[in-house]
Amino acid sequence: MGSLITTQERELLFLIVGHLDEGNTPAVDELALDVGRDVTAEVAALQDRGWILVRRTDGPPTVTGLSPAGVTAAAGLRFGRQDHDRGA
């Protein structure tokens, strides 16, 4: 997968970072409640990029952390690297 990221993926990545910063490992359904829509596709895209770590258990999948590449991507996006944005 390329380095382009949609607006929805970027917003979800920052939401995940916020949860992780607070010490919360959010389940995918919790993230969906936060944004008011299904986020399964965005979670899968971020995981396919290797940016987030997802644990699959008997319950809903849970985001457990960012990979080193995810930390770099989030920092780049946060500090103005808009060249990776492909819109919604």
Q: Spell out the per-residue pLDDT of the chain, length 88, in tens.
A: 456 889 999 999 999 999 999 999 999 999 999 999 999 999 999 999 999 999 998 888 999 999 999 999 999 888 875 544 444 4
pLDDT at 31: 98
pLDDT at 78: 84
| C-alpha–C-alpha distance, residues 26 and 54, integer Å | 10
pLDDT at 4: 81
pLDDT at 79: 81
Q: Residue 85 in 3-state DSSP?
A: strand
Q: Give the residue carrying structure tokens 């985001």.
A: 63
pLDDT at 3: 60
pLDDT at 1: 43
- Structural domains for the chain: 7-78 (1.10.10.10)
Q: Give the angle 43-82-46 at the CA atoms, nearest 5°.
A: 15
